[in-house]
Chain A
Amino acid sequence: AQSVTQLDSQVPVFEEAPVELRCNYSSSVSVYLFWYVQYPNQGLQLLLKYLSGSTLVKGINGFEAEFNKSQTSFHLRKPSVHISDTAEYFCAVIRDSSYKLIFGSGTRLLVRP
């Protein structure tokens, strides 16, 4: 079975500061990894995904993530955050041919002026 751990339930950060949101996963088979963002009163929007190839993945809104197989991690980073980045961020995994996206419990990013 797969599982996803997001250790930080909330990350406060000042505007224009860098941020890293942590995601670790466990799986006995190969999985594919995703980061989603949920703004208040909205559904989830895909930020980026890792399927294969380069372990550094670039997504929308200036976010990037690095897949580290040995550490089973897929941390999300942004070098300089904006107030508008305040949202809930979810890491997720899926096995190929599976229907089930397995989500972490989410990390609330709070950007302060």
Chain B
Amino acid sequence: ETGVTQTPRHLVMGMTNKKSLKCEQHLGHNAMYWYKQSAKKPLELMFVYSLEERVENNSVPSRFSPECPNSSHLFLHLHTLQPEDSALYLCASSAHAGGAVNEQFFGPGTRLTVL
């Protein structure tokens, strides 16, 4: 595998379910990001991790819980979601967190549908 991978690619869940999204980067980067891409809205940054430490939480509801066990893996744990949480969730990584010189490389995303 190369670049940034995400699993699953598609997920359908009920509002009472608990599920997790997984992201893995094979680039040797130290920073990882979660973004939400909703229809007709700009991408929104959700979380940023640098060397497994969360450095940014962009006012995300607690029903989204990130986890970064090491610099190559990032999870987004989901519970008690709402239908408006249906979106494409994109993971990205960069050599270091933040700044213009640290290009972010994106995964293909997980298409989440909440029923």
Interface residues of A (CB under 8 A from B): 4, 32, 36, 41-46, 49, 51, 90, 94, 96-106
Contact = CB atoms under 8 A, between A and B. Distances in A.
21 contacts: A4-B42, A36-B106, A41-B108, A43-B4, A43-B108, A44-B43, A44-B90, A44-B106, A45-B106, A46-B104, A94-B98, A96-B99, A96-B100, A97-B98, A99-B48, A100-B45, A100-B56, A100-B58, A101-B43, A103-B42, A103-B43
Q: State the majority secondary structure of interface residues on B.
A: loop
Contact of A105 (B4, B40, B55, B97): B40
Contacts of B106: 36, 43-45
Interface in B93-113: 97-101, 103-109
Contacts of B4: 43
Nearest to A36: B106
Contacts, number: 58
Nearest to A3: B42
Nearest to B48: A99
Interface string B33-64: 10000001111010010000001101000000
